[in-house]
A and B are shown apart, each in its own frame.
Chain A
Amino acid sequence: MKTIADLKIGERGIIVNFTDEGLSLKLLEMGCLPGTQVTMTHIAPFGDPIAVKVTGYVLSMRKDEAATIIVA
């Protein structure tokens, strides 16, 4: 299963589902809906956190949080 955490810089993916129910509400509120396209834009110096472009803005999250978002 591919997640946002697996994306390389510049790579795109479409959100399919969330594996963590507790986080999904916050992610939904931030505009990460199933069907939305995300683009990996930044990876912090020590590989964590990461930042993605989603619905026109840049959203940062930790790697283990990104790993709960399944993309296709």
Chain B
Amino acid sequence: MKKLPKIALIGNPNAGKSSLFNSITGLRQKTGNFPGVTMDMLIGKWHLDNGGDAEILDLPGIYSIYPKSVDEQVVINILANPQHPDYPDLAIVVVDASNIKRNLLLFSQVRDLGIPTVLALNMIDVAENQGIVINSVKLARELNVEVAEVNAKKGIGLNGLRLAVNKTLESGYNSNDSLPMEYSHELVAEIKQKYGDTDDYHALLWLSEHDNLQQFNTQQRVGFDKLQEKYGWNTQNAQSKETMARYAQLNEIVDNCLHQMPVEDEVVNTWTDRLDKIFLHRFWGYFIFLGILFIMFQAIFTWATYPMDLIDGGVAQLNDFLKSQLPPTKLTDLLTDGLIAGIGGVLIFIPQIAFLFLFISLLEETGYMSRVMFIMDKLMRRFGLNGKSVVPLISGVACAVPAIMSTRSITSWKDRLITIMVTPLMSCSARLPIYTVLIALVVPEKSTLFGIFNLQGVALFALYLLGFFMALFSAWVMKILLKVKERSYFIMELPSYKGPRFSHVMFTIWNSTKAFVFEAGKIIVAISIVLWVFASYGPGDAIEQAEINVKMQNPTLTGIDLENKIAAQKLENSYAGHFGKFIEPAIKPLGYDWKIGIALITSFAAREVFVGTMSTIYSLGGEVEDENATVMNRMRAEINPETGKPLYDAALGFSLLIFYAFAMQCMSTLATTYRETKSWKYPAIQFFYMTSLAYFSAFIVYQFLK
């Protein structure tokens, strides 16, 4: 089979690239992964005239081919390497007509890379509203390239675009003949001789960006450094000069093709201006932002409970059904209590994650998120963070894994690193079941604060605030400790407000949820199985003896009570039980016994395992309907053997709550930190600082309240 031609969509952020992609592909799209990085890439199919399909890639928006942030680097890694599996056969550069000069800068760079290029002129209506009229025929002639006028959002002009693409694909024509700036031909010749034959612009791109390009190994990079030295190459200088030279050339072209009609008032009072007066207001701006956060929390913690209960009930029913149908063997137990319970533990988070991404993608789609960054930047900077840290911190409430991945847009490495390090302190949705159970145990249900607020609700909210403030505090400490002299900057476009595209929002929710289920799911399922094995087997024959022992000691017990007693005895003698006993001395000062020790150990890989472990430890059968309520009843009935009072008093409850609020108990997050920082150092630091924070805070809380 002939390989499908690859077409890449390239353009400035907000130029309408994704809209064009959606219009072209409709629903014929899927997500792929950029090789080497886990970043979603949309791939679609487009039917071209001469029979065949083309594969079309939607690349992240960039302003130039010189990357400033990690997500921009992804694009350059493809475009700089003709051997890359995703290197396009043709590039469609989407150009915003209302801001044509800045957009054409990127166009000219892509064209000079020698990729056959088509220009899609978008947002002509917006330009006309600003009195800008563009002669696209003339533009095509001046740039010596096919130009198609499109309206990406409405899907108008696609036939013209297809025609232009067909023509260019067939001819393979690229119009670059000479670069606009001066450069040493001798230098380029030497690069070509050492690193393979290519066109001049590729050679220069390699020279200046080699440290960011995956295609080169360390030795090759050293070679580039030597060349830079030999020829006195200054990358910053060269790139600035090139940009100026390109603009000089483009100025002339744009002057010939663009007509600016007089507009009544130059500062046109657009909708965006009017909305910004409210959203960026010194009081209302923050007020509205808090209001939106409040609604978001309401959705995640109230509305999401209905689908979550359904999922919970469904998994429990499936388990009961399987238990009643399958023979009662170890294998059945593994399937039901190990595997399906583990999968259920993943599925239960889907509604919350979906709601969170619904809100985040709505805020991003409409352009509101960049306003939040704008009004928060000054505040966040005091703590060593950045206006752009707001998105990861908010996302961290659902799950730290996508939150850490969303730090890629932060241009400064130091700001990005600090954001990655503190994001897991935000209380993620996996902590929610733990909070719910423990708060119900130690905070009286009926009591209220000032007669209005339910005290349990206040406690929950306080835990979220605690996580947030601890994140800010840790960031502030790291800002002082990290001695990186690096510029952080905040030069960013505030796009005009847009209505959200429904399909795009749905796609984001679908992709993010899917990523969570598979990425985090794998680990949670694996842990559940391991936990099941460690809780079901033990050294020697103590486990086999458990049943006989219990029956001998409690001859009157029958039914469920007997089974529970046996299960508890078995657990105590299992490997997990021995582990728990082993660490008991270390956790005694926090008020924990060996049973909680088991839960701590099992939940070190994924904290959501805590409630499940507790229900196993406090020996529950599968027949009780509301799992949480019964775990609670069992825990409430637990007596401290030393004092004879209930074990779960306020001191222990709050100590555990604080521990779980701060502790780093998530393998997926550590793996993500490793992937994003490309070093084991940072996940190790993250693990130790958060765990120490948890241990000492819990210690103080327990000793004070005891």
Binding site for B on A (CB under 8 A): 10, 21-31, 33, 39, 41-42, 44-49, 51, 53, 55-62, 65
Contacts and interface: CB of A to CB of B under 8 A. Distances in A.
Contact of A28 (B247, B374, B387, B490): B247
Given A25-B240, A42-B276, A44-B280, A30 B489 contact: no
11 contacts: A25-B236, A26-B491, A29-B66, A29-B105, A33-B101, A42-B374, A46-B378, A49-B374, A51-B374, A56-B132, A61-B489
Nearest to A51: B494
Contacts of B285: 45
Nearest to A63: B378
B99 A57 contact: yes
A62 B487 CA distance: 12
Contacts of A53: 267
B276 A31 contact: no
Contacts of B105: 29
Q: Kindly name the residue among B66, B98, B494 whose own CB sees the greatest number of chain A CB atoms within 10 A.
A: B494
Interface in B462-511: 487, 489-496
B239 A65 contact: no
Nearest to A45: B282
A49 B267 contact: no
B286 interface: yes
Contacts of B63: 29-30
Interface residues of B, number: 45
A15 to B, nearest CB: 12
Contact of B375 (A23, A33, A45): A45
A58 B370 CA distance: 11
A22 B490 contact: no
A65 B491 contact: yes
Contacts of B236: 21-22, 25
Contacts of A56: 98-99, 130, 132
A48 B276 CA distance: 16
Contacts of B40: none
Contact of B489 (A10, A51, A65): A65
Contacts, number: 115
B51 to A, nearest CB: 40
A46 B387 CA distance: 13
B66 A25 contact: yes
Q: Kindly name the residue among B98, B240, B281, B282 whose own CB sees the greatest number of chain A CB atoms within 10 A.
A: B240
A44 B377 contact: yes
A62 to B, nearest CB: 5
B379 interface: yes
Interface in B312-340: none
Contact of A49 (B68, B273, B490): B490
Contacts of A41: 267, 273, 276
B102 A55 contact: yes
Nearest to B247: A33
B602 interface: no
Contacts of A22: 236, 487
A25 B130 CA distance: 27
B295 interface: no
Contact of B493 (A49, A57, A65): A57
3 closest A-B pairs (Cβ-Cβ)?
A31-B102, A45-B282, A58-B494
A28 B243 contact: yes
A53 to B, nearest CB: 7
A23 B491 contact: yes
B700 interface: no
Contacts of A49: 374, 377-378, 387, 490
A29 B64 contact: yes
A44 B272 CA distance: 16
A23 B493 CA distance: 15
A33 B276 CA distance: 25
Contacts of A24: 240
Interface string B60-71: 000110101000
Contacts of A58: 272, 276, 493-496
B253 to A, nearest CB: 15
Contacts of B98: 56-57
B286 to A, nearest CB: 7
Given A28-B243, A59-B493, A61-B491, A39 B101 contact: no
Nearest to B98: A56
Given A28-B243, A30-B491, A39-B267, 6 more contacts: A21-B240, A23-B491, A28-B244, A51-B494, A56-B130, A60-B492
Contacts of B282: 45
Interface in B609-630: none
B267 A44 contact: no
B237 interface: yes
